[in-house]
Amino acid sequence: MSTLDQRARRNRRDAIVRVVGVVAATAFACWLPFQLEGGDIGLYDRMGLYALVAIGLTLLMGFAGQVSLGQGGFFLIGAYTSGLLTVGLDPDSRLVDPDAGIDPVLAVVAAPIVSAAVAVVIGVPLLRLRGHYLAFATLAFALIAWSLLYAQDRFTGGQYGVTVTKRLELFGHQMSGASHAALVWGLVGLALLLSTTLVASRVGRALQAIAVNEPAAAASGVNVARYKLQLFVFAAALAGLAGGLFTFYAQFLGPEDFVIVLSLLFVVMVSIGGLGSFYGAVIGAVTIVYVEHELRELGTRGSLLGWDLPPQAPSILSLGVFGLMLITIMLFFPHGLLPGLIGAIRSLRRRLGASRRSG
Amino acid sequence: MTTFFQLVVVGISTGSVFAIVGMSLVLVYRATGIVNFAQGVFAVLGGLVTYSLSQHMSLVLAGLLAVLVTAIVATVVAVVAVGIRGRTTHLASLIITVGIAIFAEAVLLAAFGEVPRSYSAISDRAWNVGGVLVQPQYAALALVALLAAVGLTLFLRRTIVGQALVASADSPRAAELIGLNLRSIAVIAFALAGALTAIGGVLLAPTVPVSYSSGLTITINGFAAAVFGGLVSIRLALLGGYALGVVEQLVVGYIDPQYNLIIALAVMLVLIGWRSRGELAV
């Protein structure tokens, strides 16, 4: 009995430490953009947006054992939902009536709701199947969403895109530049709190049981299909929210921002941090955005180590590096690059310690 | 009515490529349990290598060499995709092949540039069958798909190697007990599937130019064909490929060319959903 009490106390202490830690880190993350300059703010903002998507995906991959290759599709739906609602759904009144759309705040709120609704429709029949079905189905969904941008160009502007001039305003403050980035990172913190609390709760124990042994979990009365659906919908809603905020970061929506490779990049981000690791997902998003930025700089330099670079060099470099990253990580660190490296360092230190003791 | 039959003829030819890729996916899945996301890359590789080599030699020789090159590349893909024994799960393998597909785009872009490539067809004449134009290239594609289906079915049912392939996926442990090497099995399956898909790619490029980024669409269409047969039936994958091709062409002809991919993918989503009543996750 006393051990149970101790454990309960320890759990409560852990929870408090976790919440305080996340809140402190979030406060720092929200303060940081005001110290950054110009282009760096944009980069930092993008890191936060992708982190939101990656947090949802790591939950799905880590606890439902399912991989979605279509998070970019939910991101796209969120972005165009908030964008089109802001400028007005009717393409004809958009140009003549400046008040055609709804308030940007409402548009951002609508983004995750629409993405989540789409996820319910896709998820119900597919989550009962083996992993590769959901992988391909979500990819198909992302491709459909992307193709619809062109097929429905009357609404979406097709390749010419949509320009969103209205700014997001919260409590009288315009959210652009540094304040937009701060808002995004605040939401990243909120998503972290929500996800970690979810995993530590009764729901989380069910999720962990599913992750370890699905048939056993089902046999002990866990409604596996329902939990998986909830995770899938939550992940889609986070991606939709990130997309909705992206609209007011980019102020322009065009198909190039939502290429199919983006969906695959989210998987790379999660694989860096580890399946089911929320902080890892954030680190993965930050890493990928930073590496992509650096590779683009490198690729546009014209020549590298005496070689003349072709105009496609930025794409070649980023596709090559990210492809190799994903292959190596899944081969050698299937539980994530960060956890793998930490584990390797720990075992090395143990071994060194052992040899020192024996020697 | 002539338009309808013309669309069906073109649909069967493009559908043959989906069928070929779909059957290749089935072969690999039945032998290894892995769904190879990079399968479409093999079709692209076949087409682009043929294009490059045909600048220096006859088209037939270039095509044959391209198939050989692709088969060799496929063996490397097999070793990487299977991963480390006892550690790499099938889902991890799928993600590895996603990585291979991304990496392959970089290599193809660096080696062949971004311009879609095409070359001359088998013959530039066309047979006129009651007003419907049938190009020999279409016939060749449909014939290859059909022959591949018959050949693969016989191979899996009648030959020792074919049965070993199926057995090793059904029960990897039992297969190892009777002395089968799972890695060799995977290499054989990937190489065969790679060669088959490359033949499809070599024949496809004259009708639909291929570029470094075509692989993804080819893979997903092939997967749709394979899903028709639950990822295990060669025969249904063949029919699925034909059906998908015809549906896409009918959409192009009667509705809107912009919707062909959308409708095809929607058909696949419905098919998977319909399949889900039968197969449950393990």
Give contacts of B260 with chain A, Cβ < 8 Å.
none
| Local confidence band at B281 (pLDDT 50, 70, 90 cut-offs) | very low
Give DSSP secondary structure letters for A184-249. HHHHHHHHHHHHHHHHHSHHHHHHHHHHH-HHHHHHTT--HHHHHHHHHHHHHHHHHHHHHHHHHH
Reduced DSSP (H G I as helix, E B as strand, rest coil) percent helix, strand, coil of chain B, to 5: 75, 5, 20
Could you please state the CATH topology (level 3) that the domain comprising A3-259 is classified under.
Answer: ABC transporter involved in vitamin B12 uptake, BtuC (1.10.3470)
Q: What is the pTM of this model?
A: 0.88
Q: With left for phi above 0 and alpha for psi between -120 and 50, is residue A213 left, alpha or beta?
A: beta
Name the more confident of B194 and B277: B194
What are the tokens at A192? 């972290």
With beta carbons less than 8 A apart as the criterion, state whether B224 and B18 touch. yes
Assign residue B156 the CATH number of its domain.
1.10.3470
Asked if A131's CB is within 8 angstroms of B94's CB, the reply is yes
Give contacts of A126 with chain B, Cβ < 8 Å.
272-273, 276
Name the more confident of A58 and B161: A58
Asked if B160 is an interface residue toward chain A (Cβ–Cβ < 8 A), one would say no
Question: Is B282 among the domain residues?
Answer: no
Give contacts of A139 with chain B, Cβ < 8 Å.
220
Point out the residue among A144, A271, A327 whose CB comes nearest to the CB of B80: A327
Asked if A325's CB is within 8 angstroms of B99's CB, the reply is yes
**Which residue bears the tokens 């796209």?**
A76
Asked if B265's CB is within 8 angstroms of A319's CB, the reply is no
With beta carbons less than 8 A apart as the criterion, state whether A192 and A22 touch. yes
Which residues are bridge partners to A303 per DSSP? A308
Q: Which of A200-214, B139-153, B177-191, B204-218 has the lowest mean pLDDT?
A: A200-214
With beta carbons less than 8 A apart as the criterion, state whether A283 and A273 touch. yes
Asked if B258's CB is within 8 angstroms of A319's CB, the reply is no
Taking the C-alpha atoms of residue A306 and residue A298, their distance in angstroms, rounded to an integer, is 13
**Domain count within chain B:** 1
Asked if B216's CB is within 8 angstroms of A260's CB, the reply is yes
State the distance between the two ends of chain B, measured CA to CA, in whole angstroms.
Answer: 48
pLDDT tens column, B17-41:
999 999 999 999 988 889 999 999 9
Identify the residue among A57, A61, A130, A266 best suited for mutation to test binding to B, counting B beta carbons within 10 A and taking the highest: A130
By C-alpha distance, the chain A residue nearest B262 is A144
- Cβ count within 10 A of residue A342: 12
Q: Are strands B132-134 and B127-129 parallel, antiparallel or unpaired?
A: antiparallel
Q: What is the pLDDT of residue B280?
A: 39
Give contacts of A260 with chain B, Cβ < 8 Å.
216
pLDDT tens column, B83-131:
887 778 888 898 899 999 999 999 999 999 888 998 888 777 878 887 8
Asked if A132's CB is within 8 angstroms of B94's CB, the reply is yes
By C-alpha distance, the chain A residue nearest B255 is A151
Give contacts of A67 with chain B, Cβ < 8 Å.
91, 94-95
What are the tokens at A116? 């989540």
- DSSP code of residue B181: -
Q: What is the pLDDT of residue B188?
A: 92
pLDDT tens column, A262-318:
999 999 999 888 887 888 999 999 999 999 999 888 888 767 776 777 778 888 888
Q: What is the pLDDT of residue A11?
A: 78
pLDDT tens column, A235-251:
999 999 999 999 999 98
The burial class, CB within 10 Å (0-12 / 13-18 / 19+), for A96 is exposed
Give which of B191, B262, B206 is closest to B59, Cα–Cα: B206
What are the tokens at A109? 């709120």
Ramachandran angles phi, psi of A103, nearest 5°: -60, 135
Domain residue spans of chain A: 3-259
Identify the residue among B32, B34, B90, B91 best suited for mutation to test binding to A, counting A beta carbons within 10 A and taking the highest: B91
Side chain identity at A207, as an amino acid letter?
A: L
Nearest-neighbour CA in chain A from B128: distance (Å): 34
Name the more confident of B135 and A187: A187
Q: What is the pLDDT of residue B191?
A: 96
Residue B250 has pLDDT above 50, yes or no: yes
Q: Per-residue b/e over A175-211, b at no fewer than 16 CB within 10 Å?
A: bbbbbbbbbbbebbbebbbebbebbeeebeebbebbb
The whole-number mean pLDDT for each consecutive block of 10 residues of chain A, a chain of 359 residues, reads 71 83 89 86 94 94 85 96 87 74 89 95 78 85 90 82 83 82 94 87 79 79 84 94 94 88 91 86 94 87 72 87 92 82 83 70
**Which residue bears the tokens 């998977």?**
B272
Residue B274 has pLDDT above 80, yes or no: no
Q: What is the pLDDT of residue A117?
A: 96
What are the tokens at A341? 């490296």
Asked if B109 is an interface residue toward chain A (Cβ–Cβ < 8 A), one would say yes
Point out the residue among A130, A151, A215 whose CB comes nearest to the CB of B262: A151
| Local confidence band at B276 (pLDDT 50, 70, 90 cut-offs) | low
Asked if B262's CB is within 8 angstroms of A147's CB, the reply is yes
Contact residues, A window 46-65, toward B, CB-based 8 Å cutoff: 65
Segment B162-189 shows an average pLDDT of: 83
- DSSP code of residue B117: B
Which residues are bridge partners to A162 per DSSP? A253
For residue A10, the number of C-alpha atoms closer than 13 Å in the C-beta half-sphere is: 6
Asked if B280 is an interface residue toward chain A (Cβ–Cβ < 8 A), one would say yes
Asked if A343 is an interface residue toward chain B (Cβ–Cβ < 8 A), one would say no
Taking the C-alpha atoms of residue A218 and residue B282, their distance in angstroms, rounded to an integer, is 11
Q: What is the pLDDT of residue A111?
A: 94
**Which residue bears the tokens 């290749």?**
B24
In angstroms, how far apart are the furthest CA atoms of chain B? 60
Asked if A144's CB is within 8 angstroms of B265's CB, the reply is yes
- Domain range enclosing B244: 2-276
> Number of CB pairs < 8 Å for A and B?
145
**Which residue bears the tokens 């709120």?**
A109
Side chain identity at B27, as an amino acid letter?
A: L
Asked if B125 is an interface residue toward chain A (Cβ–Cβ < 8 A), one would say no
What are the tokens at A93? 């009144």
Give which of A66, A240, A91, A241 is closest to A158, Cα–Cα: A91
Residues recorded for chain B: 282
Contact residues, A window 283-342, toward B, CB-based 8 Å cutoff: 310, 312, 315-320, 322-327, 330-332, 334
Q: Per-residue b/e over B13-47, b at no fewer than 16 CB within 10 Å?
A: bbbbbbbbbbbbbbbbbbbbbbbbbbbbbbbbbbb
With beta carbons less than 8 A apart as the criterion, state whether B39 and B193 touch. yes
Q: Which of A151-160, B38-47, B138-147 has the lowest mean pLDDT?
A: A151-160
| Local confidence band at B278 (pLDDT 50, 70, 90 cut-offs) | low
Asked if B84 is an interface residue toward chain A (Cβ–Cβ < 8 A), one would say yes
**Which residue bears the tokens 């071994």?**
A351
Asked if A319's CB is within 8 angstroms of B102's CB, the reply is yes
Q: Which H/E stretch holds residue A278?
A: helix A278-299
